[in-house]
């Protein structure tokens, strides 16, 4: 197997020697501290190489292109992060973490929040994610990762750890960061969804109902919002409303609606639901 990968690696280099000229041996101290030079390696081996591969990061040669960058300059943070992508998609989280931790070590402002995102959403290491996002807030106050503020992920972490007051405090910060204190400003529906779930878990049913209805005002087909609102009505012993929202959740899932997060194809988000769960709750009511 090592021989096969060695041949593959040499083939990749040979291809670049023919297309871009031979790979020069550079002095790390002279060249790798130069940001423009490091960026040029990404252009050469990623933009003009790895990203041109059939099947993109699913191609077995993907990692070889990143290895080429690392072999020339081992301080290119993005090379480690990009090399980790196939491992994340394939569920090889231990391998991915080693690479992403190296990326965060080399460029904390760019990658420490991404590492927290992986822990929060992919491996459900909520305690570890809290540490990473608190670091990220100190480095980039008001920063965001994958279309959400750092506070959004902190809220999810505390929610899943059963620390509802801490979760609520962070979701409030997340919502404030979106509307800047203007109650008429746009809020991401999943921020309202998770706040509603948090309120429900804390048995603040009226408040939970308000947040989930605000969420549905923005995205009425969101399965999770309908499902958790149904649970509010179950606790309130309003069976007709419970059934109504479960049926909407069922219809929405069958219609292909989802939480609309970019990584849903690879991982379930906390509190994400399935058709099985909805059908099970409906069967209990109908029985």
The total number of structural domains in the chain stands at 2
**What value does the mean pLDDT of the chain take?**
89
Task: Say what the pTM is.
Answer: 0.86
pLDDT for 185 equals 64
Q: Of 106, 127, 145, which one is at a domain's C-terminal end?
A: 106
Structural domain boundaries, residue 37 = 1-106
Let me know whether 98 and 4 are in one domain.
yes
Let me know whether 282 and 192 are in one domain.
yes
Does the residue 149 lie in any domain?
no
Does the residue 162 lie in any domain?
no
The dihedrals phi and psi of 34, each to the nearest 5 degrees, come to -90, 115
Q: What is the pLDDT of residues 218-247, one digit of tens each?
A: 999 999 999 999 999 999 999 999 999 999
CA distance 1 to 234: 58
Q: Of 106, 129, 156, which one is at a domain's C-terminal end?
A: 106
Q: Of 106, 136, 168, which one is at a domain's C-terminal end?
A: 106
Does the residue 39 lie in any domain?
yes
Q: What is the pLDDT of residues 5-23, one digit of tens each?
A: 443 444 444 444 434 433 4
Does the residue 121 lie in any domain?
no
Contacts from 4-12 at CB under 8 Å and sequence distance 24+? 5/64, 8/60, 8/61, 8/64, 9/64, 9/67, 9/68, 12/49, 12/61, 12/64, 12/65, 12/68
pLDDT for 179 equals 84
pLDDT for 31 equals 86
Contacts from 253-260 at CB under 8 Å and sequence distance 24+? 253/223, 253/278, 255/221, 257/221, 257/222, 257/223, 258/223, 259/190, 259/193, 259/222, 259/223, 259/224, 260/190, 260/219
Instruction: Identify the CA nearest to 191 among candidates 217, 163, 153.
Output: 153
Does the residue 40 lie in any domain?
yes
Low-confidence ranges of the chain (pLDDT < 70): 1-30, 181-185, 286-287
pLDDT for 30 equals 58
Does the residue 140 lie in any domain?
no
pLDDT for 9 equals 42
CATH number reported for the structural domain that contains residue 231 in this entry: 1.25.40.10
């Amino acid at each position: 197997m090592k021989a096969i990968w060695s041949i593959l690696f040499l083939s990749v280099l040979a291809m670049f020697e023919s297309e871009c000229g031979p790979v020069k041996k550079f002095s790390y101290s002279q060249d790798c501290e130069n940001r423009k030079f490091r960026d040029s390696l990404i252009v050469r081996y990623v933009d003009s190489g790895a990203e041109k591969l059939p099947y993109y990061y699913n191609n077995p040669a993907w990692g070889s292109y990143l290895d080429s960058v690392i072999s020339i300059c081992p301080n290119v943070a993005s090379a480690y992060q990009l090399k980790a992508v196939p491992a994340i998609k394939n569920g090889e989280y231990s391998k991915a973490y080693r690479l992403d931790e190296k990326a965060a070590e080399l460029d904390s402002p760019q990658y420490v929040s991404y590492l927290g995102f992986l822990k929060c959403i992919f491996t459900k290491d909520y305690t570890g994610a809290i540490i990473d996002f608190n670091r990220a807030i100190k480095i980039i106050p008001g920063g965001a990762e994958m279309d959400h503020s750092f506070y959004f992920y902190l809220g999810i972490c505390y929610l899943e750890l059963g620390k509802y007051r801490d979760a609520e405090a962070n979701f409030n910060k997340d919502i404030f960061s979106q509307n800047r204190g203007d109650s008429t400003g746009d809020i991401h529906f999943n921020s309202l969804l998770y706040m509603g779930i948090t309120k429900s878990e804390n048995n603040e049913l009226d408040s939970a109902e308000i947040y989930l209805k605000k969420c549905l005002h923005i995205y009425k087909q969101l399965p999770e919002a309908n499902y958790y609102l149904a649970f509010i009505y179950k606790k309130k012993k309003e069976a007709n409303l419970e059934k109504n929202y479960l049926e909407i959740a069922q219809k929405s899932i069958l219609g292909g609606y989802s939480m609309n997060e970019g990584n849903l194809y690879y991982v379930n988000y906390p509190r994400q639901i399935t058709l099985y769960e909805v059908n099970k709750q409906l069967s209990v009511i109908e029985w």
